Structure 1
Amino acid sequence: MSLNINILICLFLCGEVPGIQSFEQVPWLPCQLVDESVTFNDEGHAETEYQHRDAGLQFGHPGDSALNPNKITFLVTGSKVDMRKYIEGVMAHQLRCEIRRYNTEGLQMRWPGLGAQEHDIWFTCTIRHTDGVFIITSFLRHTPATPTPGQAHYRNWAAIADRAALTTSTVMLVLTRSPSVRVGLVKQQSLHCQFDVDHKAADLTVEWRLQRHGERTTLFSHSSHSGQTKGSGVPLNAIGRGNASLTLPLTKQSSEGTYVCLVSVPPLFGSHDITLHIMEPPRVSLNVDSTIFLVDRGEQKVVCEAEGYYPLDVEMEWFREPSGGGGGLLPEKLDTVLYSSHRHHQDGTYSLSAFFLLHAFLHNSGSKYFCRVSHSSQRMPIRKSFTLIVTEYDSWNTALWLFFGFGAILVMVAILFVMLPRLSSARKANQVGTSSYLTCVSSFIRSIYGIRMVYVIQRNAYLQILSLQQ
């Protein structure tokens, strides 16, 4: 019979039973009970030892038999607070469960909920999603059949047998669906925090704190008992519905840190840490076009620029892929790359340059060079590339270059020979009015622009001839 129960539980957890797919349909969830025992050393100092024991959560009714009698069972019975409804649709194998004893720090008081006693024993049950989607902490109340004096104190907790079954009730929970947040600069971000209590008009306190560089700052606090509220970011009407989520102002570099959501209903005190990471991806650019034309043994400085990234951990590399894929060879990492220092900008972001002197050789013609930038804000590296076209430096190319070069020089000399005497004579002669002088100057400027256009046209024609030769 015990074997059949274990097989059934396994099928439940693996999602192989028809119709049983998500956590709210699973009657039993494996957990680790992290038990504590306190001893005193020779110097009188308390030392705590932790023991991990196999246990499980079983959802049902008082008096139900344990589904797995070989493990410690925490039977969670009917309560107004049901942890399962907050994580609906999640597969059981995606959950990690941990149960710990809860120390009320010497505060002895009767919980206001139905059936509570002053000698109740408390446990916390923390369930985490394996992908970091959420963390939920529930407080379990157990009423022992025979009260043991002092057993509520952490130094005198009663032992739990290996196959014990403890009937409990969930009286309060605290949940966050944003245990780790990544956000860019100048963005508005909400940090999720939710809670539930099994009775109304609870003596409730909600706080938000920021821990950064060893300093702790209180951002918001509200006490239902005193009615006092300090800070902002959490609407009071939302707290009445169990929503304590904090809305941050526009993010900046100083927004990064650990935010702590605290919910207290005496004698219980629950909290969750939410880590906020500022992540700004780099903007990557090259100082060259997608294709570079160079003559054999020519040179050109090539720069890869990564701008506006945060945090500082960026990696920039240059690679070369041979023409035609290189027969399946891997890209070659360039070892002649130089780097600038990190430049820190006023908005808190950084910039970095990686550059090298490109030497053109005929056997490298058609090769592709690419800059690869890796940053913690990006799942995949960013790549920017160009293709190198190398032209043989022969007498024909030399003649073409001399033709176009000397042609441009001759045109410039001719225009200057014609315009400069006119401009000089117009300036010396008083008979020339201001408008005539300005006309001469304007003509001279247009001539200079014409010279530039001639040079550009000739240069483009030369490059076009080179590309046709390829």
Structure 2
Amino acid sequence: MIQELLFFCGLLGLHAGSTNDRTATPPFRTVDIVLECSYLGEAPKGLLGAFGGSFSKDLATLVLRDVSVRDDGSLGEATHYKVPWKSAGSSSRIIFEASAPSVSIPHAEALLHADCSGEKVNCEISPYNFQQHGKGPCPASWFMGTLRLSRGISIALVLRGPHCSGEQADKSDAILHPKLRIPVSEKGTVLTTVELQSSSCNTSLRTHLGGLVTLDCHFALAPSSLLSSLEWRRQHRGSGRRLFRYQAGSTGPRVEPKVHVDLPQLLGNGDASLKLQEVNVEDEGTYMCLVSTPQHQIQHVIQLQVAEPPRVRVIPEQVSFKRDVTTTLTCDIAGYYPLDVSVSWTQKTAEDEAEITLSSIRFSSHQQSQDGTYSITSYLSISSATVQAPATYSCHVSHVALEEPISVSAYLKAPEKTGSEGLVGGFIATVIFSIVLFIVLRRKRTDQKFEAASSISRAYHYSLLLDPLSE
């Protein structure tokens, strides 16, 4: 199926140098989107097809025909996908051709360029048995197509397959799929139409306390289908409750506090998104958007996680080194959710090239506040016998709500001289100064006496020279 995988990737570069006006809104055009899928058969009957039990897995291809997308100039001379000619039983791969004449395909651009951009698409097709249509050997067939993109987008498609009467099944020229036992085209493909689609652009969300979060859910119906109900449910730790329900023909929706669904948008353009206000830890859980018609039901599952970053401080921020004294630094971590948090201490002195991780730390037990957040305290003991000052001690905290760890430091100052040490030092300095001064003065007096004696001697010898008989 390399042809299907690379069909549009080769077209993206044909007009990369187009000189179209980039400021204008790109026009729409229709293209075929080809997706590699798996077909899960022999599934138990249920609302959403195959979700357990024994099943078989076959290779499949889903061709979404004539999907409208914006042409930004990179599509080139795109042509429709051509199904390789083969008989119905010549290949184990099941090819589904799906047309959507009146139901738009959501996130079509993302699906079209998925292989070229390196995004992964998980596609599964399974029998859909919410309500059986027709009777006989080959009644009306329905399939559920589930598409999940790696960026978090999920799309569900209800596909109406071909059907045949008992007389058609008995005809020798009837072409039935060898595995599905339903009519196929001359090329062996299963021809279907999209009757209902629903999508969500966020299968998982993370939000802070007290904020506003929107859980995305959109849908579109074929003209032959009508919305019968929309429901939002929440499940967490084995318990669940209904948050919102709209029933067609009712006087108004049933809604829980803090929850809002725009009813005009819901009925006007299929926007069933739920807004959740003033989020707290009790709002965490699994949210389900269920869109129902009289014949079908689709649900989307969104995981909502509350993540609040911690507040960190170190006490004291600055401490003086004292001999024979053990100092304890305290790192307070408070206001975080969920519970898991990682705390470490490091030391850095002037002689260290890098921070040194310390292991002699202690922790208090976790405490939970009224708003559901947690706190913990970490202690680091500094012994004057084993540390050098000055030094910096840092408390590092990692948490799921933090993009990078928080580091808060305390500074250990060099030892200061005490009062007695100052007196002793001053006395010693005075004694040394006195001794040096005494030596200097004594040496000066000796030099003066020697100079005087030398002067007298020189005067006596000079007088003898003048009067040699005077002796």
Per the alignment, residue 127 of structure 1 pairs with 147
The within-5 A match list for 1:45-60 is 48-60=54-66
AA in 2 matched with 1:207: E
State the distance in 2 between where 1:170 and 1:281 align.
44
Per the alignment, residue 31 of structure 1 pairs with 36
Matched positions, count: 372
Q: Which moved more, 1:72-81 or 1:213-222?
A: 72-81
- Checking the alignment, whether the CA contact within 8 Å between 2:195 and 2:225 is kept in structure 1 is no
Structure 1 pair 259–84 and aligned structure 2 pair: CA distance change class (3 A):
closer
Deviation of 1:371 (Å): 0.9
The within-5 A match list for 1:4-15 is 6=2, 9-10=5-6, 12-13=8-9
TM-score (norm 2): 0.68
Aligned: 1:216 with 2:240: yes
Structure 1 pair 165–259 and aligned structure 2 pair: CA distance change class (3 A):
same
AA in 1 matched with 2:98: V
- Checking the alignment, whether the CA contact within 8 Å between 1:368 and 1:385 is kept in structure 2 is yes
SS in 2 for 1:244: coil
State the distance in 2 between where 1:15 and 1:397 align.
85
Deviations 1:131-165, CA, capped at 9 Å, x for gaps: 22x2111112222467788xxxxxx953799x842
Deviation of 1:128 (Å): 1.7
Deviations 1:354-413, CA, capped at 9 Å, x for gaps: 01111246963343321111111112211112333333768985549999xxxxxxxxxx
Aligned: 1:239 with 2:266: yes
AA in 1 matched with 2:159: L
Deviation of 1:226 (Å): 4.6
Greater Cα radius of gyration, structure 1 or 2? 2
Per the alignment, residue 283 of structure 2 pairs with 255
Aligned: 1:66 with 2:88: no
State the distance in 1 between where 2:112 and 2:5 align.
17
Structure 1 pair 362–6 and aligned structure 2 pair: CA distance change class (3 A):
closer
State the distance in 2 between where 1:226 and 1:197 align.
20
Which has the larger helix fraction? 1
State the distance in 2 between where 1:252 and 1:239 align.
26
Per the alignment, residue 176 of structure 2 pairs with none
Deviation of 1:101 (Å): 2.3
Structure 1 pair 52–314 and aligned structure 2 pair: CA distance change class (3 A):
farther
Per the alignment, residue 108 of structure 1 pairs with 133
State the distance in 1 between where 2:95 and 2:359 align.
62
Per the alignment, residue 155 of structure 2 pairs with 136
Structure 1 pair 14–206 and aligned structure 2 pair: CA distance change class (3 A):
farther
Per the alignment, residue 123 of structure 2 pairs with 98
SS in 1 for 2:265: helix
Per the alignment, residue 428 of structure 1 pairs with none
Q: Percent identity?
A: 23
Deviations 1:408-438, CA, capped at 9 Å, x for gaps: xxxxxxxxxxxxxxxxxxxxxxxxxxxxxxx
Let me know the Cα RMSD of the aligned residues.
3.9
The within-5 A match list for 1:273-312 is 273-289=301-317, 291-312=318-339
- Checking the alignment, whether the CA contact within 8 Å between 2:183 and 2:190 is kept in structure 1 is no
- Checking the alignment, whether the CA contact within 8 Å between 2:133 and 2:140 is kept in structure 1 is no
Q: Which moved more, 1:247-256 or 1:265-274?
A: 247-256
State the distance in 2 between where 1:300 and 1:19 align.
70
SS in 1 for 2:301: strand
Per the alignment, residue 442 of structure 1 pairs with none
- Checking the alignment, whether the CA contact within 8 Å between 1:295 and 1:393 is kept in structure 2 is no
- Checking the alignment, whether the CA contact within 8 Å between 1:29 and 1:92 is kept in structure 2 is no
Q: Which moved more, 1:227-236 or 1:269-278?
A: 227-236
Per the alignment, residue 469 of structure 2 pairs with none
SS in 2 for 1:304: strand
Aligned: 1:158 with 2:181: yes
TM-score (norm 1): 0.68
The within-5 A match list for 1:330-341 is 331-341=355-365
Structure 1 pair 182–333 and aligned structure 2 pair: CA distance change class (3 A):
same
Deviation of 1:201 (Å): 7.2
Q: Alignment partner for residue 367 of structure 2, among 333, 343, 366?
A: 343
State the distance in 2 between where 1:174 and 1:346 align.
39
Per the alignment, residue 174 of structure 2 pairs with none
